[in-house]
Structure 1
Amino acid sequence: MNRREATSGSWKKNLWILWFGVLLSSASYTMVVPFLPLFLLDIGVTKESVKLWTGVIFSSAFLVGAIMAPIWGARADKSGKRKMVIRAGISLGVVYLLTSLVRNPWELLAVRLLQGFASGFVPASMAIVATTIPENKMGWGLGIMQTSGATGTILGPLLGGVLAELFGMRMSFVISSLVILIATLTVWLFVFEEKSLSNHQPTHVWEDMKMAWHNKIIFRMLIFLFLIQVVNMALQPLITLYVAELQGKLEGAVLSSGIVFSLTGIAGILAAPYWGKKGQQKGFFIILSISLLVSGMVNMTQYFTTNIWQFSIIQFIFGLFIAGALPSINAIVVENTDPDFRGRAFGLTTSANQLGGMIGPLLGGLVGSFVGIGFVFVVTGVTLVICGGYVAGLARRKREVREAG
C-alpha cells in the first residue's frame, strides 16, 4: 500500500492520535498558566505589582500568537500541516524548559513572547482532521477534537497543582515540556498527511486576510469566534472572586472555583460530539444559533444566583450549550473553504481566539470594577444572545434561498 492509500484510509487513526496530542498540548499549557502569578511572586515580583505583571505576562503571548497564527497557517498549507504540528510542539517544549530557568519577570516576559511566537499546535492539528475526515463525519469529528482541548484544560491544573506541591513550580515547567514533546512524538510517528496535488500558489498573510474579508461567511465566523472568546475570558479571571462573594469568604474559593471550572469543562466534553453530530444532521447554522441563544440566556441568570450550588448548576448548563458553538463554527469554516486554504483558515480562527483572549480579561476587569462582577454575566450573556439572533437570521435566509432554488 502506498502512502497516499494509507493516508486516505487512516482518518480515524489521525483523529484519535491528534485528539491525544491536543489533549496533551492543552494539559501542558494549563499545567503552568494558572500558577504564573505565584511563580511571579517566587521570582521576586512584589505583591503590589503582581497583578500588573500578571496582566502583561498573560496578554503578551496572546498578542504575539494572534499575529503569528495566520503566518503559521499559511506555512501549513505550503509545507504541510503535520510539519507545523511538529514545529510547534518542539518549539513549545523548548519554551517550557526555558521558563523553568527564568530568574526575573523580564525573562519570563521574553519567554512568554516566544511562546506566542511558537504557537500553532492545535490549529494545525484541527486542519489535518478537517482535511482528512469524510465530509459526513465533519461535525462529529470536530466536536470530538473540541473534547480533547476541554479534557486537557481540566486535567492540566489538577496535575500541575500536584506536581508543584510535590516538586516545586520550576519542575512542573520541565514536566510540561516533556508532556508536549511526547505529544509531538506521537504525531511524528503515527500521523500521516496526504500531499496536496493542487496547483495552489502561495499567498501572503495580508492576501489571506483580504480573502477572509471578502468571504462574508468566514468573516462572520471570525467575528463570532472573537466575541465568544471575549465572553469566556472576561468571565474566567472573575469567577474565583465571584465564588468568594457567594461563599462569603475567600478561604476555599480557589478550590471551589476550580471545581466550577471543571464542571463547565465536563459539560463541554459530554455535549460537543452531540452538537457536532446534530449540526451534520440539522445544519451547523441552526445548531450555532441554538448554542449561542441558550448559553447567553443561561449566562444572564447567573446574575441572580445566591449560593455556590446554584452557580455550579448554571455553569454546568452553560457548558452544555456553549459547547456547540466552536465545532459548529469550525465546520462552517471548513464547508466554505477549499482544502488548500484550511491551514490558513484555522490560522485566522486562532488569531480571532487569541485576540479575544487578550481583550476579554481587560473588558471583564473594567466592567467588574465599575458595576460589579454580577453585571459582567449580564453583559456577556446579552452579547451571546445578540450573536445567536444574528445567526438565526442567517440560517433562515439560507433555508429560504435553498427552498427557492
Structure 2
Amino acid sequence: MKVWKRNLIVCWFGMFVTSVGMSQIAPVLPLYIKHLGVHSTALIEQFSGIAFGVTFIISAVFSPIWGRAADKFGRKPMLLRASLGMALVVFSMGFARNVYQLIGLRLLQGVITGYSTACTTLIATQTDKEHAGWALGTLSTASIAGSLLGPMVGGYIGENFGLQNVFFITGALLFIAFITTVLFVKETFNRQEKKVLGTKEIWNLIPNRSLIITMFVTSFVLTLALFSIEPIITIYVTQLSSSTNHVALLAGMTFSASGMASIIAAPRLGKISDKIGPQKVMLVALLVSGVIFIPQAFVRNPWQLMALRFLLGLATAGLLPSVNALIKRITPDSLTGRVFGFNMSASYLGVFGGSILGGQISAYLGIRYVFFITSTLLLINALWVYSSVYKKLA
C-alpha cells in the first residue's frame, strides 16, 4: 500500500475521533453541569453555551499557529501532540469537580487541537494531483461526520453508560488514535532553517489571494449552515412529533443525518472534482444546498426533516473537498500548513457562528426563519463563487 493511502486511513480515523471529541459534549452538557452542582436553569444554559463555544473560538485562534508549526517541524509531530493532548484533556473532564474546571478543560482542549490541520496538510502534500480530490474528499468526511455524529455518540454513551463515561470512552478512543499515528503514519520531512515569516509576508506569497478568501468564506458558510440547526433541533423535533417519546434520539438522528450522507458522498464527489474541476462541484453543491434548506421549514414530521437533512449532507459533501483541492492547487507547499490552518479557523468560527445564529434567529423571528436565512447565505455564497472562482478558472 502506498504511504499516502496508509496515512489517509490513519488520519481519517484520527480526524473522526478528534471531531467527535470536540462535539460529543453538546447533548450531555446541561446534564453534566447539573451533575457538577449547578441547579439554576438559567445558569445551566449560560454555562452550557460558554463550555460548548469556548473550544471552537480558541481553536480558531490556535489552528493557524499549529499549522505554522506543522510547516516548520513536520506534520507527524503535530498529529502526536494533538491526539495525546486531547486524549488526556478529554479523559480529565470526567474528573471535573465543578463547572469552572470543566470550562477550563474545554478551553485547554481548544488550545491543543490541530490534528485536523496537520492531517489535511500531510495528505495534501503527499498525494499526487490526480488523486488529490478523492483523498481530500475522503478525509473531509472524517471531520464533518465526526462533528455531526459527535452529539449522537455523546448522547448514546451518556444515556447508556453514564455521563462521566462519555469523557472516559472518548479519551480512550483519542489515545488509540495517538497509538495508530505513532505506529503507522510515515512522513519524510526535511526541516529547512529559514526566516520565520509573519502573516503579512505569507499572505504576499500567495498567488491568488482573492480566491483564498473565497475559500475561507465558503468553509465558514458551510459549517455555519450545518450547525445553524444545532440549538433548535430538539425544540423543532418536539413540535413535529406526535408524542414526547424518544425526542432526544430523534433529534440526534436528525442532526447527524447530514454527517452520514457526507461519509457516503464526499469521496465520490472528490473523484468527480478530480475529473471536471473542483470549482464546478463547489458551485453546484452550494446551489443545491441552498435550495434544500427551504423545504425544511415546511416539514410536518421528523422523518421528513431527517430525509431532507440527509439530502443536504449529500450536497454539502462536495464543498469541503473542493475547497481543500483548490487551496492545495494555488498554495506553495511550504505554506500549506498555515493556509489550511486559517481555513480550519474559518470552519471553527462557522460552528460557533451557526450555533449562535440559529438560536438568535429562532428566538426573535421563529424556527422557520433559521432555514430561510441559512438558505439565503448559501445562495449568496454561490453567486460569489460563480463570479470570483468559477468564471475565472473557466
TM-score range for the pair, normalised by the shorter chain length: over 0.9
* CA separation of 1:265 and 1:177: change in aligned 2, threshold 3 A: same
Q: Aligned partners of 2:21 and 2:352: how far apart in 1?
A: 20
Normalising by structure 1, we get a TM-score of 0.91
* Counterpart among 6, 10, 27 of residue 3 in structure 2: 10
In structure 1, which of residues 268, 272, 291 is the aligned counterpart of residue 266 of structure 2? 272
Aligned letter for 2:163? M
2:280 maps to 286
Does the CA-based 8 Å contact 2:152-2:253 persist in structure 1? Answer: no
- How much has 1:226 moved relative to structure 2? 1.4
Contact kept? 1:223, 1:352, Cα under 8 Å: yes
Q: RMSD across aligned C-alpha pairs, in angstroms? A: 2.2
Q: Is the 8 A contact 1:65 1:116 kept in 2?
A: yes
- 2:29 maps to which residue? 36
- Aligned partner of 2:127 among 128, 133, 149: 133
Aligned residue type for 1:219? I
Change (3 A) 1:158 1:399: closer
Q: 1:47 to 1:130 in 2, by over 3 A?
A: same
Question: How do 1:2-401 and structure 2 match up within 5 A?
Answer: 9-45=2-38, 46-153=40-147, 156-196=150-190, 201-205=195-199, 207-208=201-202, 215-399=209-393
3-state SS of 1:123 partner: helix
Q: SS of the counterpart of 2:41? A: coil
Q: Which moved more, 1:371-380 or 1:95-104?
A: 95-104
Task: Tell me the amino acid that sits aligned with residue 301 of structure 1.
Answer: P
Give the gaps of 5 or more residues in structure 2.
none
Greater mean deviation of Cα atoms: 63-72 or 253-262: 253-262
Alpha-carbon spacing, 1:307–1:162, altered in 2? closer, same or farther (3 Å): closer
Distance across 1 between alignment mates of 2:54 and 2:240: 32
- CA spacing shift, 1:196–1:158, aligned 2, 3 Å: same
Q: What are the Cα deviations for residues 103-160 of structure 1, in whole angstroms up to 9, with x where unaligned? A: 1111111111101101101111111111101111010001111222344456644554
Q: Say if 1:29 and 1:176, in contact at 8 Å, map to a contact too.
A: no
Q: Give, in whole Å, the separation in 2 of the partners of 1:122 and 1:323.
A: 17
Displacement of 1:80? 0.6
1:389, distance to aligned residue in structure 2 (A): 2.0
Distance in 2 between residues matched to 1:220 and 1:17, nearest whole Å: 30
Q: 1:262 to 1:234 in 2, by over 3 A?
A: closer
Q: Is the contact between residue 32 and residue 176 of structure 1 (CA under 8 Å) also seen in structure 2?
A: no
Are the counterparts in 2 of residues 70 and 205 from structure 1 also a CA contact under 8 Å? no
* 1:280-334 deviations in Å (ceiling 9; x for gaps): 1111111100000111011112122222232222111111101111111111111
The amino acid of 2:168's aligned partner reads V
Aligned residue number for residue 3 of structure 1: none
Contact residue 82 and residue 114 of structure 2 kept, 8 A: yes
State the identity %: 33
Q: Which amino acid aligns with 1:382?
A: T
CA contact (8 A) 2:90 2:167 kept: yes
**Cα distance in 1 for residues equivalent to 2:149 and 2:222:** 23
In structure 1, what is the Cα distance between the partners aligned to 2:204 and 2:31? 42
How far does the alpha carbon of each residue in 1:223-257 deviate from its partner, in whole angstroms, 9 at most, with x for none?
11112222222222212211111115544321111
- Mapped to 1, the partners of 2:14 and 2:342 lie a distance apart of 21
Could you tell me how far 1:215 is from its partner in structure 2? 1.2
User: Given the two structures, how large is their TM-score scaled by the length of structure 2?
Assistant: 0.93
Moved more, 277-286 or 18-27: 18-27
Q: Is the 8 A contact 1:196 1:340 kept in 2?
A: no
CA shift, 1:12, in A, is 1.2
